């Protein structure tokens, strides 16, 4: 990660924004906790896949960002990290909750250096990876998912506004460390 950050800083002269859009719940098979048979290797995999990269990339970019004038970090969390997703595993929810906590903590630590840190917490979004799994679910489950939303449709990557990620870094944010739920009204 340090070499990626160093290369970006060398090529562009600075790093204005870092968007940590990593993770997922479908990548680790059977990552749910049950009263029997919890696999700590799979749980560690879910944590590593969802939280470790965000943590390491953020810490790799901080020294470069401290030297720049425009600085912003946006972390992709999930409503699962707030316990609001019935379909997500507890391992995924714990990892995304860690991203929410990391965001808040980093906002306090980096704010004095002029670095704004925020998180976006979407609900289920039908991406290229998620859509095939969602479409394999029984029709009544898909219908129930759709009926939970005010617009009666599932979120698509193109319909999920991630406004704070795309604001210019100099745009003042009055609530560093905040998390914006992007749920389509759930």
Q: Which residues are catalytic?
A: 92
Q: What tokens appear for 91 in the block?
A: 């391992």
* Encoded tokens for 172: 């003042």
Rg of the chain over Cα atoms, rounded to whole angstroms, equals: 18
Q: How many helices (H) and strands (E) does the chain have?
A: 7, 6
- 76 bridge partner residues: 120
Which of 151, 141, 137, 138 is closest to 186 using CA atoms? 151
Local structure of 14: helix, strand or coil: coil
Task: Give me the residue label for tokens 């998390």.
Answer: 179
């Amino acid at each position: 990660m340090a070499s990626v950050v160093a290369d970006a800083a060398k090529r562009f002269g600075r790093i204005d924004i870092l968007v940590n859009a990593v993770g997922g719940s479908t990548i680790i098979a059977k990552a749910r906790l049950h009263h029997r048979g919890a696999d700590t290797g799979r749980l560690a995999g879910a944590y590593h896949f969802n939280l470790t990269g965000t943590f390491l990339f953020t810490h790799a970019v901080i020294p470069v960002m401290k030297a720049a004038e425009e600085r912003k970090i946006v972390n992709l969390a999930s409503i699962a990290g707030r316990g609001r997703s019935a379909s997500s595993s507890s391992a995924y929810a714990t990892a995304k909750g860690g991203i929410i906590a990391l965001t808040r903590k980093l906002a306090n630590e980096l704010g004095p250096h002029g670095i704004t840190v925020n998180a976006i917490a979407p609900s289920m979004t039908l991406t290229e990876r998620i859509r095939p799994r969602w479409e394999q679910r029984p029709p009544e489950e898909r219908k129930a998912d759709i009926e939970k939303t005010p617009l009666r449709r599932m979120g698509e990557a193109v319909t999920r506004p991630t406004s704070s990620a795309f604001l210019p870094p100099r745009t003042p944010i009055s609530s560093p460390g905040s998390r914006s739920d992007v749920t389509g009204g759930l």
